[in-house]
Structure 1
């Protein structure tokens, strides 16, 4: 067993659970990796040739870094809310590639400009007075990550912060100053319509941090390959949609609690922001149907990307689903779970394409958590229609997991940690049978999985099923 991960923690995670201390091990490891990534970015900039990073540009980067360090000294927790923000991960990786990979310098200048915005946001959240000139990119928005964005024309914007009030003055002639009120938790407000604050959703538990619903960060979906994974693109939401998200979110906490206290804990510990996506195909022109899409990104630890869920119940189940991916990806970074190759060859009832072993493990892990969640939901639901829907979801997810567990259990390439994890998943799978759904649900779920297998085999030929 890895010294970084006690045995009882791995067993908790194998059951798709984990208390605050256990999940905290994953969080601290991911946070350390982010800080190392940022330091690698600074070192790569210092070693980059002048043809990649001109001296003037390097000097500005070092000024931005100095402001970041000053903010970190002033209030480490506040400053690191920006440095460790999920959407800073894809940006940092993109910059590092631009500085180190031959032929990857396209867009590097504008990417590095974003460091100025990150440094300013960190200083604001740390309550550190400063003044700086930023450059608004094309597209009409100058973002201050975690805080909001200024609608303005491309060009210079002078920013000043006195420890309480933020002022932004676009460089174009006769442009009026935008005044913004800031709070220590990162919420902002302004009477000026040019300032667009990041919407902050209430914390799921007392003492936890609010959850930003971020439709402004320019790196929220960059490089994610959303279309390849069947997801819709990022979207900006209007006031009506913000109210709809807020209403749905307000019903999530009691529904997560139905799934057990561990579901609330993982949301409170792991979820750092939500990124709204457009409605998926087939959901109707207004996105009001039950169909939705969601995803996570390994490089954006703590972010969940999702189209607007139709109901609080689907919102809660989306979080259960996606936070298992967050959890397992972080665990896989901390300890090796298997030595299987990455060839896509395996049947997964929730996908039409062959999956690599790791993708199969990820999918089974998230679906067994859903099977457990929907079973608890069904047992606690008061309305017949809610119970029936929950039992149907439970049965489908459990049958899907049952179809792939033999492949996972039969792998000879699992590490000791991987074997413990899979054994706990198998134990959970069998415990779910202690409360079978009403007659008919399992038969329909079995038929669903059987049909999915036939279609998969027809589409993918001789690949392993």
Structure 2
């Protein structure tokens, strides 16, 4: 059932904008859905037959849940930092599916159940609640979500936390001690401890953004290779400095795109999952050398290979946070009634797209066209202006190729038509500052060529294409 969304919010979001109140509506809804999902996990585990959730696993789950409740009584905000961590979403969806499948429990389900221990431990550490527990790694290092991980080899890892000191006891190897700092980050001189890099807050007073390369649910499942996304990249010390340096330049570059770009990044972005470069990538960090994405079940996460420059980092956030925003909106209100058939031409993809994918892509590319135009108008160096105008022209022509299909669709709901109408208004507003003729001609040729190639490749499957 759709929840009423105020008309002014629909219009703001349709313009790829949104003030703090409008974005807060999306955030609160997503956080509430996460809490409901977590409660559903506990109920599903209790209702599952013993073949799915054996009594020892159910007892352990209830112990973990009790630790979460104790930690929340001490520091609710600290616990919700963990529970609302974007990568807890894919884990929760996966575990709920396993518990309700009625199939005998296998290693994957056991590992997913065990991950609740990691979440509860991380929440207790953040809340300063003493505990004793045992951590079992799903794959790779044993992870404490939002905090870090430990290289511990095979077998469980004993945990003991009190007085801001965490002791980890691997099954093989000596124990190690990790200190909890006043900002609730964990540090250790032992090289087996892998801390999560905290990127500074986008706006003063906001929370830091985690660069999470240790959580096993970062790209788990979801068919991500289909979309050209590579695997999670382990970030070494040298790469950490490169990520941090690039991040330091993002805030002023986002500001070039308007204050609303800073507002949406501060409100929506909670973590960045670093990806390795796509196979066959080149050296410049763009095109085939770069990939990025989002996951509907991981609200607040942007998955990205390392951008070559801060400007591309900023544009990646603009692009991907539109997907985050529109996905959260569609969880609140139905924008269209189209089926999932993949039949539409989209100049940013070689394969036919479903209507929802067409809307998502047009929305994000419209925001990019707006961002790069503002960038071009304020850039001082000619090379920066040329880059920005080229990107603006390409994105604007791509959006123009599909807007008639969206606008002419009978599948749009009233809310969806409001959103699309606002998108059209932004598209025409871009004409107030046209790109230089050379850039426009190249962009038009690019889209025309993409259409010809698409028709040659998909003609026999094509049911609808943009005019």
Give the shorter-chain TM-score range: over 0.9
1:8/1:288 Cα in 2 relative to 1: closer, same or farther (>3 Å)? closer
Deviation digits for residues 72-97 of structure 1, max 9, x if unmatched?
11111110111111001111111111
Q: Tell me the residue number matched to 1:229.
A: 227
CA offset at residue 414 of structure 1? Answer: 0.8
Matched position secondary structure for 2:342: coil
C-alpha distance in structure 2 between counterparts of 1:422 and 1:116, whole Å: 44
Matched position secondary structure for 1:153: coil
CA offset at residue 105 of structure 1? Answer: 4.1
Matched position secondary structure for 1:52: coil
C-alpha distance in structure 2 between counterparts of 1:104 and 1:125, whole Å: 35
Q: Does 1:244 align with 2:239?
A: no
1:137/1:155 Cα in 2 relative to 1: closer, same or farther (>3 Å)? farther
Q: Tell me the residue number matched to 2:156.
A: 156
Deviation digits for residues 55-77 of structure 1, max 9, x if unmatched?
11111110000001111111111
Deviation digits for residues 225-276 of structure 1, max 9, x if unmatched?
2210011111212111111111111110000000000101111110010001
Q: Does 1:46 align with 2:57?
A: no
CA offset at residue 177 of structure 1? Answer: 2.5
Judge which range, 102-111 or 186-195, deviates more. Answer: 102-111
CA offset at residue 190 of structure 1? Answer: 0.7
Matched position secondary structure for 2:320: helix
Contact 2:290 2:307 in 1 (8 A): yes
Q: Tell me the residue number matched to 1:273.
A: 271
Deviation digits for residues 352-376 of structure 1, max 9, x if unmatched?
0000000000000000000000000
Judge which range, 287-296 or 88-97, deviates more. Answer: 287-296
Contact 1:125 1:184 in 2 (8 A): no
CA offset at residue 289 of structure 1? Answer: 5.7
Matched position secondary structure for 2:198: strand
1:23/1:192 Cα in 2 relative to 1: closer, same or farther (>3 Å)? same
Equivalent position to 2:364, from 366, 390, 397: 366
1:367/1:336 Cα in 2 relative to 1: closer, same or farther (>3 Å)? same
CA offset at residue 329 of structure 1? Answer: 0.2
Contact 1:156 1:171 in 2 (8 A): yes
Q: Tell me the residue number matched to 1:112.
A: 113
CA offset at residue 3 of structure 1? Answer: 6.1
C-alpha distance in structure 1 between counterparts of 2:117 and 2:237, whole Å: 29
The 5 Å alignment of 1:347-358 reads 347-358=345-356
Q: Tell me the residue number matched to 1:192.
A: 190
Q: Tell me the residue number matched to 2:405.
A: 407
Deviation digits for residues 338-395 of structure 1, max 9, x if unmatched?
1011100000000000000000000000000000000000000000000011001000
C-alpha distance in structure 2 between counterparts of 1:393 and 1:283, whole Å: 20
Contact 2:112 2:138 in 1 (8 A): no
**TM-score, normalised relative to structure 1:** 0.96
Aligned length: 460
C-alpha distance in structure 2 between counterparts of 1:351 and 1:94, whole Å: 28
C-alpha distance in structure 2 between counterparts of 1:127 and 1:287, whole Å: 44
The 5 Å alignment of 1:354-433 reads 354-433=352-431
1:249/1:104 Cα in 2 relative to 1: closer, same or farther (>3 Å)? farther
C-alpha distance in structure 2 between counterparts of 1:401 and 1:273, whole Å: 28
CA offset at residue 416 of structure 1? Answer: 1.0
Contact 2:3 2:333 in 1 (8 A): no
CA offset at residue 282 of structure 1? Answer: 3.9
Matched position secondary structure for 2:298: coil
Matched position secondary structure for 1:440: helix
Deviation digits for residues 105-142 of structure 1, max 9, x if unmatched?
44101110110010000000111111222234553x11
C-alpha distance in structure 2 between counterparts of 1:108 and 1:184, whole Å: 35
C-alpha distance in structure 2 between counterparts of 1:211 and 1:91, whole Å: 20
The 5 Å alignment of 1:321-360 reads 321-360=319-358
CA offset at residue 442 of structure 1? Answer: 1.1
Q: Tell me the residue number matched to 2:313.
A: 315
1:36/1:138 Cα in 2 relative to 1: closer, same or farther (>3 Å)? closer
Equivalent position to 2:177, from 173, 176, 179: 179
Q: Tell me the residue number matched to 1:56.
A: 56
User: Tell me, which stretches of 5 or more residues in structure 1 are unaligned?
Assistant: none
Matched position secondary structure for 1:143: strand
Matched position secondary structure for 1:115: helix
Contact 2:138 2:216 in 1 (8 A): no
Contact 2:111 2:136 in 1 (8 A): no
CA offset at residue 157 of structure 1? Answer: 2.0
Q: Does 1:98 align with 2:102?
A: no
Judge which range, 157-166 or 68-77, deviates more. Answer: 157-166
C-alpha distance in structure 1 between counterparts of 2:305 and 2:136, whole Å: 31
Matched position secondary structure for 1:193: coil
Matched position secondary structure for 2:136: strand
C-alpha distance in structure 2 between counterparts of 1:67 and 1:267, whole Å: 32
C-alpha distance in structure 2 between counterparts of 1:343 and 1:204, whole Å: 39
CA offset at residue 310 of structure 1? Answer: 0.5
C-alpha distance in structure 2 between counterparts of 1:264 and 1:423, whole Å: 24
Contact 2:253 2:314 in 1 (8 A): yes
Matched position secondary structure for 1:433: helix
C-alpha distance in structure 1 between counterparts of 2:267 and 2:341, whole Å: 33
The 4+ residue runs of structure 1 with deviation greater than 6 A are none
